[in-house]
Structure 1
Amino acid sequence: MEKSNSKQSALVVFTAGAFFFYSFIQMTLFSTEAMKLFFMSQLSLVNTAAFGNFAGTFLYGTVLFLIPAGIMLDRFSVRKIILLMVLLDVLCVLGMAFTRDAFTASVLRFITGVAHCIAFMAPFRLAPRWFASKHLAMVSGLLVAFAVLGGWVSGAPLLALINSFGGQTAMIMNGILGVVILLVSLVFLKDYPVGYQAAGESTVQLSLLDGLKLAAKNLQNWLAGMYIGFLNLAVLLLGAMWGTTYLKFVNPEFSEATFTGIIGMIFIGTIIGSPLSGLISDRLKSRKKAMIGGGILSLLVMLLIIFPPVTSAGFFYVLFFLLGLITAAQSIGYPVIAESNEDRVLGTANGLSAVVLMGIGAIGQPLFGVLIELFGGGADASTEQLQAALQTSIWIMPLAFVGAILCSVLLKETFKPEA
């Protein structure tokens, strides 16, 4: 049927997106040293290993509950699930503001990770119900940009709050923001447009096992998940972990502020590139062409990073911005999944694809460290040996982008101009 494209559609889908934004703040909560130090003091964590175990419980919750969360979104009201999870998120955030027990804080952090599964998938679950295919990539790109903005909020703005009011007050304000989003969700969230019925789809609800089988048998879900995961390695490897290490050897004269600024351009590029890539896909009336182009251009930019003609800071600012801008084509993978599955199994399909894309990141981050050691960059390595090991290990990125190109070539076109 013709989807609604009214202001109400935007209000519904981007209200769900506000939860994604809020949950992204919780995921990246410890991006500043100030917040890390607050929790280490509050919970009496004596070393970084103990803090790492506490912080990591978020991802444990996310990875363990991705598929169950997808199944829940298929079988129950998306609106009710979002409202429940926002409430849980707020209670956990406020609980972490006051508790001084590390175990209790870890359980609360784990629950916020579980809530992130819903925050991550629910907007993409609702979008195909409220928007036509010709707008879906643009909407998905805007949702990703909205979420990544949460990562920025957990940086400089949250640091300013901590410096002005202290860590506990900053966490209470974090909880209050969640209450505002909960109230907005109560007012604007709806499951379906009036009279919605997905054309050509069965209304019979599948059993749990049959739904999983249907999602798993769809090659599109695996290919789209791998495409997103391969392009997302730019953020996970260079943006979140190894980028500054690599840049130190590219140009030892860079200051720490310069390293941080260059890496930050990946996130700025992603915020701009996510809706832009969606707009390009919708204008081309093709998911496949835009995804292939995104993969090829990402590969070219990465090769320039590995073989830079100059090593000035300005050049790397531009390259890392372009890397974020172009790898944001990963956001087109979400409408591909939406357009490749029946509404009754879309949540399960999103959960399955999320396991694939997050699995690639979970393997890629430690693998890069293993490769550095394997190629002679261990603890006793000289500066020259470590530099050589980094220059060899960084080839994991071009290989990932080649993988993304292959996935996009194998994908079937899903754009529906009549939808």
Structure 2
Amino acid sequence: MQQVHNIGRRRAWVIWLVALSVYLLAVFHRSSLGVAGVLAAERFDVSATELSMFTVLQLVVYAGMQVPIGVLLDRFGAKRMLVTGLLLMTAAQLTFAFATTLPVAIAARAVLGAGDAMTFVSVLRLVTSWFEPRRIPLMTQLTGQLGQLGAVAAAGPLAWALHDLGWTRTFAIVSSVGMVLLVFVLLLVKDSPYVTTQVIRIRLSLLARQVRSVWGNPGTRVGMWSHFVAQFSMTVFAMLWGYPFLVRGEGLSTQTASALLMVMTGWVVLAGVVLSMLTARFPYYRSVIVLLVVAQMVVAWTAVLLWPGPAPMWLLVIMCLTTAAGGPASMVGFDLARTFLPSEYSGRANGLVNIGGFGASLAVMALIGVVLDLQNPRGMDAYTLDDFKVAMAVQYAFWAFGAVQVVRYRRKALRHLEREHPGVTHQLRRGEPFVHPGFHDREGV
């Protein structure tokens, strides 16, 4: 296989920056309902349960497409998937801008979820192809966390634009950004620094067995459950229920609530850099690091929910920062899967890992909406702080279940790695990276 471009040099960084811009736009689109939720409830005259369905359906599509998209990514490459994702997101957001009925709006969010589903795993594939193994943990964290700047744009500028420009003009304008990025992707992105792109051509007769092989590997599962337990709280808070909780429940102004969401995103970037260094230095303890981050999150949320009346600002800030740290902690799941699986399986492995956090997120979002309606069926304007506290408590069941699964599969994954690749666990204990050399497709089943 002939290498025609240097790995980790200027071309690699240009490709990564263009792909990162697409992911940033996807996060912006994904998070846009977080600040538009109150307006959406008024525009479409919906209850909390119905409002949660906007985002839940979007995430159902996102999570449900991860395995098929992983297969398509391994088959067609990252560039084609990014182009397709941009086209779908642009069309969906433009439709959402002009939607006046609930079914049309929900359909638009579903298509948006499909386009969004193609972006992150495609960027990770480019990272794996264009950067050295020792840099991949850092680049994975930077991708995940810098992409969250899209949430900052949704929390601040989008809120301003919705106020000054209105619903239709705002969403129509932001939909056009996708066409600009499409030009850059077509001109600048390449799938691989090699002449042969190593895109796998998969026969349908072998597809089920190969997916089962990836899923059967305990490294995939410890990655998925790490993503599950760490990500959902931040996603739920940033995408839908955080803004109403802070404004309607805690009594903050809209400006203060938006500022807190932006502070969360800034903290995500800082925490991502710190966690990337920790996981690169202590690869053997990566899942333990994830659980420590989750424990801090649980403590902060417990303090807020048990506080009599509205929590003080300092405690809300701590809660927001620890919740935000769950984002970079969830990225460790992809790094775990990379250790246990060869690069040619990365599309399917990353797709399965990605299902974890987003599957948990959509379940928690839906349950919070249901609990709010059960607590107070009179709608968004009638919810009290106590209603929100009861609803937000559904997170504890998911934290507990996810933590148990991480511990369970961490043990299985380490035993598996030592059995298949003797001496590698000692290598990881010493802080040395491990690149999977490839395996027979029955390994781990």
User: Same fold, TM exceeding 0.5?
Assistant: yes
Letter in 2 for 1:138: L
Correspondence 1:20-419 to 2 at 5 A: 20-33=23-36, 36-37=39-40, 41=43, 45-48=44-47, 53=53, 56-98=56-98, 100=100, 103-194=103-194, 207-236=206-235, 255=252, 265-282=263-280, 284=281, 286-300=282-296, 302-307=298-303, 312-325=312-325, 328-366=328-366, 395-396=396-397, 399=400, 402-403=403-404, 406=407, 409-410=410-411, 411-412=413-414, 417=433
Paired letter, 1:62 = Y
Give the secondary-structure state (helix, strand or coil) at the position aligned to 1:4: coil
Contact map agreement 2:275 2:329 (CA 8 A) in 1: yes
Question: Gaps (5+ residues) in structure 2?
Answer: 378-383, 415-424, 436-445
Task: Quickly say closer, same or farther: Cα 1:397–1:240, change in 2 above 3 A.
Answer: farther
Counterpart-to-counterpart distance in 1, 2:122 and 2:29: 17
Q: Deviations over 1:386-407 (max 9, x none)?
A: 7996797664366257437626
Distance 1:277 1:157, change over 3 A: same
**Aligned-partner SS, 1:154:** helix
Q: CA offsets per residue over residues 4-45 of structure 1, 9 Å max, x none?
A: 1112112223322222211112212222248834x964xxx3
- 1:4–1:130 contact (8 Å) kept in structure 2: yes
Distance 1:343 1:99, change over 3 A: same
Deviation digits for residues 79-102 of structure 1 (CA, Å, limit 9, x no counterpart): 122112212322332343345565
Offset of residue 349 of structure 1: 1.5
Q: Hey, what does 2:11 align to over in structure 1? A: 8
How far apart are the structure 2 equivalents of 1:99 and 1:367?
26
The 2-side partners of 1:40 and 1:246 are apart by 17
CA distance in 2, matches of 1:349, 1:177: 30
Alpha-carbon contact 2:88-2:115 (below 8 Å) kept: yes
Shift of 1:205: 5.2
Whole-Å separation in 2 of the counterparts to 1:235 and 1:88: 25
Conservation of the 8 A alpha-carbon contact between 2:268 and 2:325: yes
Contact 2:34 2:241 in 1 (8 A): no
Contact 1:226 1:407 in 2 (8 A): no
Deviating more after overlay: 224-233 vs 14-23? 14-23
Q: Quote how far apart the aligned CAs of 1:325 are.
A: 2.9
* C-alpha displacement of 1:305: 4.4
Contact 1:142 1:274 in 2 (8 A): yes
Give the letter for the 1:343 counterpart.
S
Q: Judging changes above 3 Å, is the alpha-carbon distance between structure 1 residues 400 and 132 closer, same or farther for their aligned structure 2 residues?
A: farther
Do 1:133 and 1:339's aligned partners in 2 also have CA atoms closer than 8 Å? Answer: no
TM-score, normalized by length of structure 1? 0.79
Give the C-alpha shift of residue 384 in structure 1: 12
Kept in 1: contact 2:232–2:358 (CA 8 A) = no
Which 10-residue stretch deviates more, 216-225 or 85-94?
85-94
Which letter does structure 2 place at the counterpart of 1:149?
L
The 8 Å contact of residues 99 and 105 in structure 1, kept in 2 or not, is answered as yes
SS in 1 for 2:34: coil
Q: Which runs of 5+ in 1 are unaligned?
A: none
What is the distance in 2 between the residues matched to 1:235 and 1:196?
A: 39
Query: Cα distance 1:325–1:99, how it changes in 2: closer, same or farther (>3 A)?
Result: closer
Deviation at 1:339, TM superposition (A): 3.3
2:439 aligned residue: none
Residues 56 and 40 of structure 1: is their aligned pair in 2 closer, same or farther, counting only changes over 3 Å? farther
Are the structure 2 counterparts of residues 268 and 359 from structure 1 closer, same or farther at C-alpha, using a change threshold of 3 Å?
Answer: same
Separation in 1 of the partners of 2:392 and 2:164? 42
Amino acid at match of 1:272: L
Distance 1:409 1:35 in 2: 41
| Contact 1:303–1:398 (8 Å) recurs in 2 | no
Taking the aligned partners of 2:250 and 2:84, their CA distance within structure 1 comes to 50
Read off the aligned partner of 1:28 and give its amino acid letter: S
For the residues of structure 1 that align with 2:53 and 2:371, how far apart are their CA atoms? 24
CA contact (8 A) 2:234 2:323 kept: no
Q: Provide the identity percentage.
A: 14
Paired positions, count: 404
Task: Give a deviation string over 1:289-339, Cα, whole Å, max 9, x none.
Answer: 244134224314532542589964224413431442366222122122233
- Following superposition, the deviation at residue 178 of structure 1 comes to 1.0
When residues 229 and 92 of structure 1 are mapped into structure 2, their CA distance, relative to the original with a 3 A threshold, is: same
Q: 1:68 Cα shift? A: 1.0
Seen in structure 2, the aligned counterparts of structure 1 residues 99 and 135 have a Cα distance that, compared at 3 Å, is: same
Where 1:32 maps in the other structure, the secondary structure is helix
Amino acid at match of 2:407: L
Cα deviation per residue 1:347-376 (whole Å; 9 max; x = unaligned)?
A: 1112222223322333444557889999xx
Counterparts of 1:75 and 1:370, CA distance in 2: 40
Letter in 2 for 1:302: V
Q: Deviations over 1:235-290 (max 9, x none)?
A: 14555566689889xxx9864566666566544432321233113322x1x33324
